[in-house]
């Protein structure tokens, strides 16, 4: 899951981003409305955590422009004002959810997860193909009766491949969905991660390389 955090309080933004990365999410950060709008329009985010009171471009205007542009990512607005009027205004702009500051971090993660599920077609809680199974809620992966010890990136790659239901997933798509903007676009991280994942999945091999298309299970 890839998330954009748009927050002008740099310390808060970095703290939230670090916490979300510990929750195994790929996170990009912008510190004003202009930077957030540019990133949101040029990248495919599952969820955009958007502070309302932003410099350069106000959060309300960012929300309006993203909705008008048909942005697929779900918008979670943050604000220090927690009145009913603010809530109604924020949702009226097209935001999908609203969270007043200060907030409990666990609530933030739960709301992001709920919004991400709404950003995609409904998927079963446990993804399966052959004898490979992945429980997205408990973050457990198995092959047959053998538990797999996967890194967050390996887990993310396996999740995307299983969710694709046999469709080939390109290295570019894997890089965009599992990694964040701090990753070198010319890196061989996807290739290395797929190689390690193949080794952990064992024999017979289940990940196939499709020429000029990517990988599939």
Whether 107 and 131 map to the same domain: the answer is no
**CA quadruple 125, 121, 157, 26: dihedral sign:** negative
- For 130-153, the pLDDT digits (tens) are 999 999 878 899 999 999 999 989
Whether 12 and 103 map to the same domain: the answer is yes
Whether 23 and 108 map to the same domain: the answer is yes
- For 59-105, the pLDDT digits (tens) are 999 999 998 898 888 999 988 766 666 666 767 778 888 888 888 89
Provide the pLDDT for residue 165: 87
Provide the pLDDT for residue 84: 63
Whether 186 and 132 map to the same domain: the answer is yes
Domain with 193 in it: 126-216
- Of 119, 149, 179, the domain-final residue: 119
Whether 99 and 6 map to the same domain: the answer is yes
The mean of the pLDDT values for the chain is 87
Domain count, the chain: 2
- For 106-125, the pLDDT digits (tens) are 889 888 988 887 766 555 67
Taking the mean position of all CA atoms in its chain, how far away is CA 130? 26
- For 6-35, the pLDDT digits (tens) are 999 999 999 999 999 888 788 999 999 999
Residue 214 has pLDDT above 80, yes or no: yes
Cis ω for the linkage preceding 102 (within 30 of 0): yes
- Of 119, 142, 168, the domain-final residue: 119
Whether 114 and 7 map to the same domain: the answer is yes
Whether 132 and 75 map to the same domain: the answer is no
**Would you state the structure tokens that stand for residue 53, as one six-digit string?**
């009171």
Q: Can you give the CATH number for the domain in which 19 is found? A: 3.40.50.2300
Whether 112 and 140 map to the same domain: the answer is no
Whether 88 and 155 map to the same domain: the answer is no
Whether 93 and 136 map to the same domain: the answer is no
- Of 99, 119, 139, the domain-final residue: 119
Q: pLDDT category, 161, cuts 50, 70, 90?
A: very high
Provide the pLDDT for residue 91: 72
Q: Can you give the CATH number for the domain in which 207 is found? A: 1.10.10.10
Long-range contacts of 179-183 (CB under 8 A, 24+ apart): 179/26, 179/153, 180/2, 180/26, 180/27, 180/28, 181/28, 181/39, 181/43
């Amino acid at each position: 899951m890839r998330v954009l955090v748009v927050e002008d309080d740099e310390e808060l933004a970095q703290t939230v981003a670090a916490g979300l990365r510990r929750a195994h999410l790929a996170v990009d950060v912008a510190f004003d409305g202009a930077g957030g709008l540019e990133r949101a329009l040029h990248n495919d985010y599952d969820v955009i955590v958007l502070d309302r009171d932003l410099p350069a471009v106000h959060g309300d205007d960012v929300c309006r422009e993203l909705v008008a542009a048909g942005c697929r990512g779900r918008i979670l607005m943050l604000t220090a004002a927690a009145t009913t009027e603010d809530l109604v205004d924020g949702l009226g702009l097209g935001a999908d959810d609203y969270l007043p500051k200060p907030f409990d971090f666990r609530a933030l993660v739960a709301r992001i997860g709920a919004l991400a599920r709404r950003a995609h077609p409904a998927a079963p809680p446990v993804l399966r193909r052959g004898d490979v199974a992945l429980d997205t809620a408990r973050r457990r992966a198995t092959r047959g009766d053998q538990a797999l010890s996967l890194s967050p990136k390996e887990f993310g790659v396996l999740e995307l491949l299983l969710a694709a239901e046999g469709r080939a997933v390109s290295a570019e798509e894997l890089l965009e969905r599992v990694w964040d903007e701090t990753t070198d676009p010319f890196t061989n991280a996807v290739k290395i991660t797929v190689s390690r994942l193949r080794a952990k999945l064992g024999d017979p091999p289940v990940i196939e390389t499709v020429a000029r298309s990517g990988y599939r299970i």
